[in-house]
Amino acid sequence: MVQDLGWRSLADRRNDSKLIMLYKIYHNLVAIPLQQNIKAPIRFTRHMHPLYLQKIQAGSLYHY
């Protein structure tokens, strides 16, 4: 049915929604400030562009 209607998958639509929100946050189009975790890289390589952001790495120092 979804294919008959020409709709995209839910996963694709959720991914698009996340990217659109990141764009709006980055360009101050919404009232959500950039967090400390979203930073520009310290050094640029030839493959990076001026809008490149560092990847957020999650980690845990706690062990159970």
- Counting residues of the chain whose pLDDT is more than 70, the rounded percentage is 83
**pTM reported for the whole predicted model:** 0.63
pLDDT, average across residues 14-34: 89
Provide the CA 1 distance to its chain's centre, in angstroms. 30
Contact by Cβ (8 Å): 53, 38: yes
CA distances from 54 to 3, 9, 11, 21, 38 (A): 36, 28, 24, 17, 7
Question: How sure is the predictor about 17, in pLDDT bands with cuts at 50, 70 and 90?
Answer: very high
**33, 40 contact by CB (below 8 A):** no
